[in-house]
């Protein structure tokens, strides 16, 4: 019996390895100073300036493939519960690595991160923040100017599919293969864990209304694999791979930003409640 159980367990393990599929894990993180970053929930006061960044990691999930660097992923950052009084900060909206389309330091902090902008939009169709209300929830969405539909919407065939069924109008984060890097290009980045692709900042409304914003990247807003239909990221298999032959389906871990009233506002709210109660008692 023990041998039978061992055989079943071994067979299950082999099946698991055979079905293993690597994942491109996108983690959204927030910061108030650009130095200390965290995932999950962040509590802020009204009017806060919040930085947001998008990292990717290659998760093997039992696969024996080890890529040598990130290749490409197109995505559309979104922030839910957006209001007309919130503002999106400036970021690098056009071009590529060599002409200002990507950034690396505090002097140009926001945009796609070098070297992951080997291609990019022109001044006639730059990246921008779109505001939309979907099913009663208001959103900020970052994509090319012409991509006016909500993520995943639009015709599934023909040129109209670009707006916005196949996600190709989002942020194109693309690195050249190491064999294609020229002296004019930035150095090849071989990291496959916590690779920062994009940063932006928002300044929240000064309203004391409590709310929670979700910084995310919907899968429907990503480039669609024409063969499988999956939304996947591409990674380089080796130095001779110039196109990112390793495909790994994307999973996204969003970040929450919870706006809570400032301490002074809480005190005023408490005082107002106490005064109202006193008036009722003496009525």
Closest CA to 85 of 140, 143, 28, 145: 140
* Six-digit token string for 116: 């992951």
Give me the pLDDT at residue 62, please.
92
Report the run of H or E that residue 234 belongs to, with start and end.
Answer: strand 232-236
Tell me how far apart the alpha carbons of residues 111 and 103 are, in angstroms, rounded to a whole number. Answer: 6
Give me the pLDDT at residue 165, please.
86
Closest CA to 119 of 223, 232, 249: 223
The answer to whether 219 touches 164, Cβ cutoff 8 Å, is: no
Task: Give the domain ranges of the chain.
Answer: 25-269
Positions in the chain whose pLDDT score sits under 70: 1-20, 159-160, 264-283
Tell me how far apart the alpha carbons of residues 36 and 124 are, in angstroms, rounded to a whole number. Answer: 36
Give me the pLDDT at residue 107, please.
76
* Six-digit token string for 27: 């983690």
Tell me how far apart the alpha carbons of residues 236 and 4 are, in angstroms, rounded to a whole number. Answer: 41
* Six-digit token string for 79: 């922030």
Give me the pLDDT at residue 139, please.
98
Give me the pLDDT at residue 224, please.
81
- 130-168 pLDDT, tens digit each: 999 999 999 999 999 999 999 989 888 776 677 898 888
Q: pTM of the full predicted structure?
A: 0.85
Share in percent of the chain as helix, strand, coil (round to 5):
20, 35, 50
Tell me how far apart the alpha carbons of residues 53 and 30 are, in angstroms, rounded to a whole number. Answer: 6
String of DSSP letters for 68-108: SEEEEEEE--EEES--TT-EEPP---SS-TTTTSEE-SGGG
The answer to whether 177 touches 242, Cβ cutoff 8 Å, is: yes
CA triplet 171, 173, 174: central angle to 5 degrees? 140
**Collapsed DSSP state (helix, strand, coil) of residue 149:** coil
Give me the pLDDT at residue 20, please.
62
- 254-268 pLDDT, tens digit each: 999 999 987 754 444
The answer to whether 246 touches 65, Cβ cutoff 8 Å, is: yes
Give me the pLDDT at residue 155, please.
84
């Amino acid at each position: 019996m023990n041998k039978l159980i061992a055989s079943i367990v071994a067979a299950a393990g082999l099946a698991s390895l055979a079905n293993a599929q690597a994942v491109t894990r996108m983690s959204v993180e927030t910061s108030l100073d650009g130095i200390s970053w965290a995932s999950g929930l962040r509590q802020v006061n009204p009017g806060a300036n919040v930085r947001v960044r998008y990292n990717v990691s290659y998760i093997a999930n039992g696969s024996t493939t080890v890529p040598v660097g990130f290749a490409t992923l197109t995505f559309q950052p979104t922030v839910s519960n957006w209001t007309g009084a919130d503002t999106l900060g400036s970021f690098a909206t056009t071009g590529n690595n060599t002409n200002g389309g990507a950034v690396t330091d505090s002097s140009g902090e926001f945009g796609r991160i070098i070297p992951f902008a080997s291609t990019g939009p022109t001044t006639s169709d730059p990246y921008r923040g779109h505001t939309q209300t979907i099913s009663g929830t208001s959103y900020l969405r970052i994509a090319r100017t012409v991509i006016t539909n909500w993520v995943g919407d639009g015709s599934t065939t023909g040129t109209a599919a670009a707006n916005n069924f196949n996600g190709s109008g989002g942020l194109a984060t693309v690195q050249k293969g190491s064999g294609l890097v020229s002296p004019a290009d930035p150095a090849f980045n071989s990291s496959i864990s916590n690779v920062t692709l994009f940063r932006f900042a928002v300044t929240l409304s000064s309203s004391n209304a409590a709310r929670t914003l979700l910084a995310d990247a919907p899968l429907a807003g990503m480039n669609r694999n024409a063969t499988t239909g999956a939304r996947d990221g591409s990674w380089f298999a080796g130095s001779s791979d110039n196109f990112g032959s390793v495909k790994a389906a994307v999973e996204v871990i969003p970040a929450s930003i919870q706006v809570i009233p400032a301490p002074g506002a809480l005190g005023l709210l408490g005082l107002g409640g106490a005064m109202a109660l006193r008036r009722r008692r003496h009525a």
